[in-house]
Homo-oligomer: A and B are copies of this chain.
Amino acid sequence: MVGSRVFVALDPGVGESLGYWLNIVSRLCGGVAGFKFGLPFLLSFGVDGVRVSRGVCDSMFIVDLKLADVGDVMVSTVSRLVGYVDGVIAHGFTGFEGALGELKDYLDSVGVKLALIVSMSHAGSLDVLDVNIDRLLWVADRVKPWGLVAPATRPHVISYVKSRAPWAKILSPGVGVQGARPGDALRAGADYEIIGRAITRAPNPLEVLQSINLEHEKIMGERGVGRV
């Protein structure tokens, strides 16, 4: 489904086999915007696990390491995944010079997209991140990434980010187990919802995905936005 607004998060538990997750990737492949994986996936299955997953499904793969280091370490990290990933998620708060500026230049040179986190889905995001959202959007404006990450659990944050950075794709985690309902983030202006356990731990993941896709299509129709 070319028009899906869902990135499926692949979050393996300790001791789970790569086969289990390859099966999920393979079954959902045609119905997603892409997949997202992070440190739990990489520590369980290594870079090779990413390569194999990508071989099973030629969809968009985003690596979500919540990168938040100096530029050369972020570049050194991502360079090990180039060829297997289409997008990278980094935190916005590390700032431009010596960090995100260097990362963005590198990603542009290898044709990989960048999405910057400006707010997170948990309560502690209010301690430091959310009170700094204008600073984070100022950083984002300098970096000009493909996307911004803002939480489905706080739709007003999504609306604000959308109004301040209309040029960016907005990706929203926090749907399902973390509290937001599928569709909440799209209604608030997000472009994609990142959904993990609500799909991957369902008895029939494909059925859940398809029903969310239908609901999303309806919402985007109401917003007057066509297929991706």
Contacts and interface: CB of A to CB of B under 8 A. Distances in A.
Interface string A67-102: 111110100110111000000000111111111110
- In this complex, the member of A42, A70, A120 whose beta carbon has the largest number of chain B beta carbons within 10 angstroms is A70
Nearest to A15: B80
B80 A14 contact: yes
Interface string A117-160: 00011111111110110011011000000000000000000000
A187 to B, nearest CB: 23
Interface in A15-43: 38-40, 42-43
A132 B129 CA distance: 10
Contacts of A124: 94-101
Contact of A127 (B39, B77, B135): B135
A76 B13 contact: yes
Nearest to A125: B95
A27 B68 CA distance: 31
Contact of A66 (B43, B68, B81, B92): B68
Stoichiometry (number of copies):
2
A121 B71 CA distance: 11
A46 interface: yes
A47 interface: yes
Contacts of A100: 124
A46 B73 CA distance: 17
Nearest to A174: B70
A93 B129 contact: yes
> What 9 A-B pairs come out closest when comparing CB atoms?
A95-B124, A98-B122, A95-B127, A97-B123, A99-B124, A39-B77, A93-B128, A43-B80, A97-B124
17 contacts: A38-B77, A39-B73, A40-B76, A42-B43, A66-B66, A66-B69, A93-B127, A94-B129, A95-B124, A95-B126, A95-B128, A95-B129, A99-B122, A128-B132, A128-B139, A131-B135, A132-B132
Interface of A: 11, 13-14, 38-40, 42-44, 46-47, 65-71, 73, 76-77, 79-81, 91-101, 120-129, 131-132, 135-136, 138-139, 178
